[in-house]
Structure 1
Amino acid sequence: MRTLFVLFFSAITLSLNAQVEISGTVKNFSDSIFYITETGGFNNFTRVWRDNRTKVVVTKNKTFKVTIPEESIGGWYIKTEAGNQIFDLVKGKSLKLIVDFSQPNPIYAIGKNAGDFNFSAFLHDSIIKYYSEKNFFKNIRNKNIDSVLFYRKEFASYKMNLLKKYRSTHEMSDIYYNWLRSQYSYEPFERTLVENITNRDSLDNGTISKILEKGINDEFAALNTSEYNDLIDFYVASKLNRKSKKLTLTDRFNYVADSNMLSGSTKDVYLSRFMAWLIKKPDSVYNPLFKKYDQIVRNKKMKQLVTSRRNDYKNPKIASAISINSKSNSLIDIFKKYTGKVIYVDFWASWCVPCRVEMPNAAILKENLKGKNIVFLYLGYNDKEKAWTKARNQLEIVGEHYLLNEMMIKEADELFGINGIPHYAIIDKDGKIISKRADRPNDVYQELLRIIGK
């Protein structure tokens, strides 16, 4: 109990500091609000998907002031007519912004910390030019790993040189500069692993060595670079699978915890990710491993994140959920039709390959919950009616279907914090949104069964 109290206190302290204060002026904008949204990606310590979204209210004087929750350094974006403008926010670095929506990339910073913020815009045009001139995407589709690594490392070197050039003429914080350097260093290997290698279990030692060229003992990267930690996950898996593919989860955790396979923050992050992954396991599995984890790992932030993950799973924050009965508009009216039933919402589109891949799993989920008090609601997101209807028929998707218009998409973005599809959500029988980002059909059965049974 004492440990949990200490972690809770630490969580309060960390959350107070984990923010970016932003103020600014808006030009050429007719609406009264816009959103600053995380670009996605996984939390470095827990691999939890980053999906925060903050509403920015514009005053009559065309000014705004907002606090963005950022625990370290992460990518964010705003929607523009030309697409999305992406930028990085650094924890604790306040910003003054000018947002001119008449420009393709409307946001730029002035004053303190502007050098960090404006780097993304500086990089953007050069990267687009590089892609075109170097045939980058064609080159990295090569099946030869040596060739792919060559082109990816060449690209990383190009970005590194741009970073140095930019820093020579702009003020840039050491933490952000080193964060970018570390990311560029490990990205070629992590991207090759994710995008070019289909069967990791069958890799020979030579290929594994090429993927792990940068080594496994980088203290800064462990604390700051998700690409590095993804490579560490791969390294451990390759080692343990060669030892025995029949090792249980407990065996795998204990082997890393008790051995010198990893050290320092690299070991701490690996064990934290492992514990975060175990949140749905029963107490009989989870608690003994957490006890050992608590003794080994000293990093309070990691412990706070792991503990929060488990607490959120065990005690869902239903009380603070948004009630769909509190408003009256087009998207809410759809939800109201199904009051009294649990609703599993699937935001999808005909053009979205991952959305289509999940549909067979959704069919299995529906069959397993047949006869239960649940409705499967499929909402077409940024799609054309003809293509959407054709895809529904091709995929034989059984359920309730609605094609969202532009206004309804904005409502969905605000209610559920959507920054990519497929996106799933759960609404309970009383009309409360109890999960704004639910698990995919293959993993959500037990949670739906529990909610239906309430």
Structure 2
Amino acid sequence: MKYTLNILLLILTLVSCKKENEKIVTEKPKPNQIVLISVNAPNKYIHLIKQDSVGKKLKDSLGPKAFYNNNGFTYLDYMNNIQTWRPKANVSDTITIETYNDYLELSTNNFFTSIKETFLVQNGDTVIFNYEHNIPKAKITNREVNDIELNYNSYRLKKLFDNKYTSHYLIFGNMFLNENFKDYKQKSLEYYNQAKLDFTEEIKLLDSLKNNNLISKTNYFYRKDALNMLMEKHKKLKNIKKWLEQNKSLRNKETIEQVFGFDLSETDSLMKFSFFRDYLINISEYDLEFIEENNGNSGGFYIDSRIRFDSIVKDKRFNQTAKNFLLFNAYNGIGQNFRVKDKKEYFKKLQESTTSIEQLDKLKKEYKLDFSKSNELVMTSMKNDTLTYRNLLENNKGKWLYIDFWASWCKPCRKTMPESNKLKKEFNEGNIEFIYLSLNDKKENWKKAIEVDGISNSQNYFIENGNVSQVIEDLRVKTIPHYLIYSPNGELVNGFANRPGQGAKEQLKKLITGQ
């Protein structure tokens, strides 16, 4: 059974409606703006992976933690470009958003629920965000709004899940909680079946809220659609998808999985909703098989975004608004998982296929997509002098080189720095240089990290074109930290050298002494 929804028509209808006890007032011109005020946003959004309650204090729990360093509020601007506002930490911060729609959706990550924390606000609203346990709570100052409606995500988490992990989160998240990883797939199927029951209960809750006028019809349908889309995302997980296919023939008509969808002719009015954008991504992955990659200590699964990109261009279901969004989404997959030649080829295709010039410029600037120097690895020093990787090797010829690819945001990289400093002291009298190359970093953070980690007396360079450099590809630097050892004659003798404190000392001694 396929559901369709024309939210735009519903919203336009409901905006003109009044409750019986409200006075009818003359319609005023729309201010065409929404003001957001964030009060004391956290510097880091830390969530404890093994804690059992949202309200638990950090000091009360040990174990692995999830960090959202750059969490913020994502929305679709009036030019149909996705924007994210990241409030300044520990102060009051304000932004004014220009809008010409009746409603604007603001979304942010919530680690506990597997569904985004979303707020549906109206044109002309002033919204203040305070934070409870790193999760924002909204208040509108210019009109009365039921708190359940405005902060529905927090309400459902308490009402249905007692502020504990939801079944929706545990479908995937149980791998962090379960010490026996072998049980992950079976556990995820159990949580999926529980999530279906919780879905039914939440629909009943929404029905009750609507019937008791605690939530508007607009919000009611909005929340139902978000919930339906969440269930569709569960079905895309590899082991759940396989299980559903295996059991399809055993199911009767009453228990068969329903298919949820939207009327794509309403794309322009629905694009403002994150769950609709998720739906577009879902149907534009075309059931492509996952590519499995193993890089020794790391790896991953991803689909062939090149095939996806070409398919989106040809797909007549999608209008230009949808294609603008989906093509950038597909290109991100190409940028993360494919070679420089693919990035170059598909960036040209993106330029030819999109009408979103602003997003194109933003992408090019953010990822430094200048392919004119792809045959070089361009770097700058602390003094802002420019050189290439080839220059670096030539300048240090005659010495052993231990090269460390790292970044200020990379925790494993930073964790090894004390051992790296210790290693340098042990080889202080030797003919060896320790060189640190920062990859996919921000200069300001890079410079601070150099001082904090005590490596300022070494050779430090900032890589300017890591995303488009053939050199990075040829060196097979796919993850960081990554270490290389060069001999005095400039030969790469180990492209996957050991980490400091984990065999690097023995490795270097053996190479230098020849024993």
Q: TM-score, normalised by structure 2?
A: 0.42
Structure with bigger gyration radius = 2
